Amino acid sequence: MGRHGTIAGRKASQDSKRAAVFTKYARAITVAAKSGGDPEYNVSLKHAIDKAKSINMPNDNITRAIKKGTGELEGETYETGSFEGYGAGGVAVVVDVLTDNRNRTTASVKHAFDKYGGNLGVPGCVSYMFDRKGVFVFDKADGITEEELMEVALEAGADDVLVYDDSFEVLCAPEQFDSVGESFKEAGLNPLEADVDQIPSMESTPTSEEDIKNLKKMIETLEEDDDVQKVYTNCTIDLYEE
């Protein structure tokens, strides 16, 4: 399985773009709140709030985003979407977006692909190389052992536990995400990250330093775009490593 990068790499990337991440998560909360402003009865909203709290988004920001979604405050209308294509070196890339202007977002995403040697494709051109999975990331520095994590995860219905140098990743079916997450909570195990992501089932390894450099720049450019929620690749190389 491919992975999203080291714990340190993801933390550094997230910290350097804190304001942009706040904007992205606020949008996600607003969209989720359109189906109801109570997270106890709206699973999507609960997920969005949990992610926002995981990066210490102020409660006032969260409340304001919810009110925009429920119509208590005036706000923009967002739509979800995704783009697919190939980055430098033939690496498959999927870009999830949340936008109030589809034309602007399309132009920005296409520009990033073109500028760094990529090729924006048609829907379905690379998504077959990914599987939707619930993903829970645990930092080994938190003192969690593989044995205790494995016991809770498999009993809760998770599919697999992957071991890396600095972390563990637990994978499950999307429909099991809530129950697995609740089992971790009851066991006192707190993930660093938890979300339903696109996990590559087919991987690609760039063969030149130039391709790797361009891939990193393209991913960075895309992630800095307020309209982009997430970027997935099937690259075997850690694109967040300095």
pLDDT digits (tens, 9 = 90+) for 199-231: 999 999 999 999 999 999 999 999 999 999 999
Instruction: Please give the residue range of the domain that contains residue 114.
Output: 80-127+202-233
Are 147 and 189 found together in one domain?
yes
Cβ proximity of 116 and 215 under 8 Å? yes
Asked if residue 241 belongs to a domain, the reply is: no
User: pTM of the full predicted structure?
Assistant: 0.83
Residue ranges for the chain with pLDDT beneath 50: 1-2
Are 51 and 96 found together in one domain?
no
DSSP letter at 51? H
Three-state DSSP class for 64? helix
Asked if residue 215 belongs to a domain, the reply is: yes
CATH number assigned to the domain comprising residue 164: 3.30.70.980
Given 23, 42, 70, the domain boundary residue is: 70
Asked if residue 171 belongs to a domain, the reply is: yes
pLDDT of residue 75: 78
pLDDT of residue 159: 95
pLDDT of residue 16: 53
Are 102 and 151 found together in one domain?
no
User: What is the Cα–Cα distance from 133 to 111, expressed in whole angstroms?
Assistant: 29
Asked if residue 95 belongs to a domain, the reply is: yes
Are 12 and 104 found together in one domain?
no
Are 20 and 138 found together in one domain?
no
Backbone φ and ψ for 50, nearest 5 degrees, come out as -60, -40
How open is the CA angle 199-108-220, to the nearest 5 degrees? 50
**Total number of domains constituting the chain:** 3
User: What is the Cα–Cα distance from 170 to 144, expressed in whole angstroms?
Assistant: 13
Are 88 and 206 found together in one domain?
yes
Nearest Cα residue to 169 out of 156, 186, 153: 153
pLDDT of residue 239: 85
pLDDT of residue 208: 95
Are 11 and 66 found together in one domain?
yes
pLDDT of residue 4: 58
Asked if residue 1 belongs to a domain, the reply is: no
Name residue 127's amino acid: S
